[in-house]
Structure 1
Amino acid sequence: MQLRQSERRQAKIKMALQGSAGAGKTFSALLLAQGLTNGDLSKVAIIDTENGSADLYAHLGNYNVVSLKPPFTPQQYVDAIDLCIKENMSVIILDSISHCWDYLLDYHSSLTGNSFTNWAKIKPLEKLFVDKILQCNAHVLATMRTKQDYVLNQKDGKFIPEKVGLKAVQRDGLDYEFTLVFDIDIKHFAISSKDRTEIFMGKPEFKITPETGKIILEWCNSGKKSEGNSINTSASIEIPQQIQHIDATEEEVYNAIQDCNSVPELLTLYRQFPQYHNTLKPDFEARKTILIHTVNPNNKFSRNGHQK
């Protein structure tokens, strides 16, 4: 065990695209893959759970398809990823991982006994799946379906449900595992709801193009930030002064959640206090949803993924 200086190294992007049916998640993922492979779609594989929808875009190029059949178990996804790695695929598109979560929910409901303790049987299966995504030596683009989401806000002493946007059909907090998350609306515009690359966060909505993938590839291949590098990797997120200490109370952390003004700031807060992940997770999720759907409300559309 020893201390070493921090240094960002080359990486494989692990990102998610979430949106409702018809938002263009599969098409957008393929455009990103074009950029990530410099146009060589023969190095791209789609793991398809959408009943053949991956073949609808064959006109884009000669990418590869692995079709899965129900039940969509975590092991099926793991085996398919292993196959793609064996065949030296550079980009793996998981379209979609919502089917895996649907399977896990159905499996959980089929178990007898205590519903709460039965989650202990589900978590290892999901962990197997998530770890494979995060550790495989390829760029991974995962799509997730979304549904309308609501949060409870207090008004006149009563809690009133208010519609705040779309929620992924997936385990709460899974998006924290990814380096980059794009939310895509029905008009095919994307906005970043989580961004460790710091390229897209806070930017106006944009249309995904192969150039967006090239920008992400540049970030993946860059090491330490050097003079003249256009990608900013050195920015930091400040935690509110009142909770700089690691032993902050649950109430202090709750108040800090409400004071967060961006998703990166919220994510930093979430990571700093793992002891409150269970008790305050609904508050983290509610604040994140509000921040996602109130960012840059007056900005004009940008038609590509270029930095401004």
Structure 2
Amino acid sequence: MKLQQAKRHQVKLRLGLSGASGFGKSYSALLLAFGITNDWSKIAVIDTENGSASLYSHLGNYNVLSLLEPFSPERYIEAIKTCENASIEVIIIDSISHEWSGKGGCLQIHEQLGGRFQDWAKLTPRHTAFIDAILQSKCHVITTVRKKIDYSMDRDSNGKTKVIKHGLKDITREGFSYELTVDFEVVNESHLVKASKDRTGLFMDKPEFVINASTGKKLIAWCNEGISIDQIKNEIENCKSIELLKHIYSKYSTVQNEIKPLIIERKQRLESLDTQLINTKDIVESPNTLPNGINSK
């Protein structure tokens, strides 16, 4: 455990778009994605909304992966991996609500397990793995979330029970928005959005606006500030000792998930090189013995 100076690294976006049905979440997500990549072919939509992603095919030649029920966490994870393996740059998951409340989603799985509180011990790790697949993806990820009206049963001053309307609530497990870089809420049918969370500082406390490609361009410019992953990869590749590798891994703590495979690969190559040097040294120090047990005499 040690303190280290804060450094800004280039990051992958984790964006959220929430809103009621018909408010333009899918369309806004596509415009955001194009602003980020400037290349429709590098965008993929994981579509759980009955083919709605294809309604906007006139925009460009983006990719669609239709995800049908059951909407288990594992099937979402498989879809994300499929997009990553296809060298996609921006993944749009439209929507993540089905993973929570759709057929074969977490709530239904919990009910099938018995619906008891202790059954969450089996299910929570599966949902967490789905969230981790989003957070640890090598792609930029945009998620859309459905909203529903939230009610509760309360007692008034006379002790009578009445239904209280609390507004709209995201249809996913509570707390997901905390993981996002920016969380946009689409507030009406005119596609106006506001930022309910914004780590970039670009949109918080600003007037409501309509998302377009320039929104994505602003976000990718913010992402690309600081040290790039390519620079870190080059530093790893040129590393000459395992001790220095450990230092690099510790230094770039915010991108450890991305650089860990590179660190391991370089470590294995250094260890292999050390083994070869030891074997060569043994041969030099024992001149009467040649490789493969051949005697020099």
TM-score > 0.5 by shorter chain:
yes
Gaps of 5+ in 2: 228-297
Alpha-carbon shift at residue 51 of structure 1 (Å):
1.2
1:192 pairs, out of 191, 195, 219, with 195
What does residue range 13-28 of structure 1 map to in structure 2 within 5 Å? Answer: 13-28=13-28
Alignment of 1:150-299 (within 5 A): 150=151, 156=157, 162-185=164-187, 186-223=189-226
Give the Cα–Cα distance (whole angstroms) in 2 for the partners of residues 205 and 164 of structure 1: 22
Question: Identity of counterpart residues, as a percentage?
Answer: 49
1:2 aligns with 2:5: no
In our comparison, the structure showing a higher alpha carbon Rg is 2
1:79/1:151 Cα in 2 relative to 1: closer, same or farther (>3 Å)? same
* CA gap 1:10/1:157 in 2 versus in 1, 3 angstroms: farther
Q: How much does 1:223 deviate?
A: 1.9
What is the number of residues matched between the two proteins? 222
Q: Taking structure 1 as the reference length, what is the TM-score of the superposition?
A: 0.68
Taking the aligned partners of 2:150 and 2:70, their CA distance within structure 1 comes to 26
- Structure 1 moving runs of 4+ over 6 Å: 151-155, 157-160
Q: Residues 125-181 of structure 1: CA distance to partner in whole angstroms, max 9, x if unpaired? A: 101100000001111000000001246889758797543421011111111111111
When residues 154 and 196 of structure 1 are mapped into structure 2, their CA distance, relative to the original with a 3 A threshold, is farther
* Residue of structure 2 equivalent to 1:96: 95
Report the equivalent of 2:35: 35
Distance 2:124 2:16 in 1: 20
After TM superposition, the structure 1 = structure 2 runs for residues 48-127 of structure 1, keeping only pairs within 5 Å, are 48-102=47-101, 103-112=105-114, 115-127=116-128
* Unmatched segments (≥5 aa) in structure 1: 225-308
Q: CA deviation at 1:2?
A: 3.2
Q: How far apart, in 2, do the equivalents of 1:157 and 1:222 lie?
A: 58
Q: Distance in 1 between matches of 2:201 and 2:163?
A: 32
- Structure 1 residues 41 and 151: alpha-carbon distance in aligned structure 2, compared to 1, 3 A threshold: same
| Structure 2 Cα separation of the partners of residues 9 and 178 of structure 1 | 17
Partner SS state of residue 204, structure 1 = coil
**Partner of 1:140 in structure 2?**
141
Give the secondary-structure state (helix, strand or coil) at the position aligned to 1:62: coil
Taking structure 2 as the reference length, the TM-score comes to: 0.71
Structure showing the higher helix proportion among its residues: 2
CA distance in 1, matches of 2:156, 2:34: 48
Classify the secondary structure of the residue corresponding to 2:65.
strand
Alpha-carbon spacing, 1:155–1:200, altered in 2? closer, same or farther (3 Å):
farther
Shift of 1:62: 0.5
- Compared with structure 1, are the counterparts of its residues 46 and 220 closer, same or farther at alpha carbon in structure 2 (3 Å cutoff)? same
Q: Distance in 1 between matches of 2:53 and 2:60?
A: 12
Change (3 A) 1:117 1:205: same
**Equivalent residue letter for 1:138:** C
| CA distance in structure 2 between the partners assigned to 1:205 and 1:99 by the alignment | 28
Moved more, 159-168 or 67-76: 159-168
For the structure 1 residues 181 and 119, does the alpha-carbon distance in structure 2 shift closer, same or farther, using more than 3 Å as the test? Answer: same
Whole-angstrom distance in 2 between the partners of 1:62 and 1:220: 25
The amino acid that maps onto 2:210 is K
**In structure 2, distance between residues paired with 1:13 and 1:48:** 19
Q: How far apart are the structure 2 equivalents of 1:134 and 1:163?
A: 33
- The amino acid that maps onto 2:28 is S
What is the alpha-carbon distance in structure 2 between the residues aligned to residue 64 and residue 2 of structure 1? 44
User: Aligned residue for 2:263?
Assistant: none
1:248 is matched with: none
